Chain A
């Protein structure tokens, strides 16, 4: 069985400061890892994904994440946040079976002007 843990339910950060949103996963097989973003009153959209290859993955809107197999982590980072980054961020894992995805409980990023 696969699972995802997002330890921080809310992360406040000042505008133009760096941010890291933490994600740890567990799975008995090789995994595919994802970060999705949900803006208020909208569906989720993909920020970035790790399927294989380089462990540093770059996504949209200046976000990046690093796959660390030994730490079973996939933390999301951005060097300088903007007000428009205020949203809820979901980490997700898939073992590839039927393309089923397990989502974490989400982290609300609040960017403070």
Chain B
């Protein structure tokens, strides 16, 4: 039982490049989330998906898109990366109000 997995673990992009962060969970949870974590700012919600086939914006959605591919997978896409998107990105799924987090992706945009 792997829980929540994320790939890649680390990534360096140049300004303007695009990439997709992958997330998968094997706990059969309906809800999934993408957060970014920046020093002194806690975790901020980018997008969430309450169930397969639905996605909604969170607190900081600008510059990102998401896809809920199926119940297991929820991907985050940066179409044109900017230095302000340098951050650690966490995917999570939830059940009974408890959130289960992946190990994170550390992204640097130069």
Chain A residues at the B interface, C-beta cutoff of 8 Å: 9, 32, 34, 36, 41-46, 49, 51, 90, 94, 96, 98-106
Say which residue of A9, A45, A99 sits within 8 Å of B94 (CB atoms): A99
Binary contact track B38-66/A, C-beta < 8 Å → 1, others 0: 00111111001010000010100000000
Residues of chain B within 8 A of A101, CB atoms compared: 45, 94, 97, 99
B75 CB–A CB distance under 8 Å: no
- Across the interface, B98 reaches (CB within 8 A) one of A42, A46, A96, namely A46
**In the bound complex, do residue B101 and residue A49 qualify as a contact, i.e. CB atoms below 8 Å apart?**
no
* Contact between B99 and A44, CB atoms less than 8 A apart: yes
Q: How many A-B residue pairs have CB under 8 A?
A: 56
Q: Is the interface of B mostly helix, strand, loop or mixed?
A: strand
Q: A106 vs B41: C-alpha distance in the bound complex, in angstroms?
A: 8
How many of B's residues come within 8 Å of A, CB to CB? 23
Residue of A nearest to B50 (CB): A98
Contact of B31 among A98, A102, A105 (CB under 8 A): A98
The answer, yes or no, to whether B74 is at the interface (CB within 8 Å) is no
> Are A51 and B97 in contact, with the CB atoms below 8 A?
yes
Interface residue from A43, A94, A98, A106 paired with B104 (Cβ < 8 Å): A43
Residues of A with C-beta under 8 A to B90: 43-44
Complex CA gap A36/B101 in Å reads 10
| CB under 8 Å from chain A, chain B span 77-110 | 90, 92, 94, 97-99, 101-104
